[in-house]
Amino acid sequence: MLEAEIAVTGTDLHNETVRQTEVAGSREWRLIASESVDAKDGSHPIDARFYVLAAEPDRLEHAHLVFQVIRDKTGTPERLEIVLATDALYASVSGLPPPRTTSADEAYGGWRLP
């Protein structure tokens, strides 16, 4: 959830725009979801069909998605990098079981990143 004046933009590793959708909000806050990438060949979901998942720890240095967060008009952007990883790498790094992945039975064709 973001305060209303915070702006977020995102790109993928090919420098293509991450499409964001506001899913809820008020005057004070907004909840946005990053749901797809607007690529040169058309829009596609953020999923393993379009990105090679990191399977080894050395691949954690290569972000699949990069978001710029700007808190006010004069502020310096903050950077948030996201690596899409295999379940095994997630469990190895975090020490936790991986979250349930999106199934074909669900309405959305990829992962939503709130």
Q: Within 13 A of 46's CA, how many CA atoms are on the CB side? A: 27
pLDDT in tens, 46-90: 887 888 999 999 999 999 999 999 887 777 889 999 999 988 999
The answer on pLDDT for 108 being more than 50 is: no
Confidence of residue 30 (pLDDT cuts 50, 70, 90): confident
Of residues 1 and 41, more confidence is placed in 41
Residue 90 corresponds to which amino acid? Answer: Y
Of residues 112 and 12, more confidence is placed in 12
Q: What CA–CA distance (Å, rounded) separates 106 from 98?
A: 18
Rg (CA), the chain: 15
- Dihedral through CA 41, CA 60, CA 77, CA 19, nearest 10? 30
Q: Is the Cβ–Cβ distance between 108 and 95 less than 8 Å?
A: no
The answer on pLDDT for 14 being more than 70 is: yes
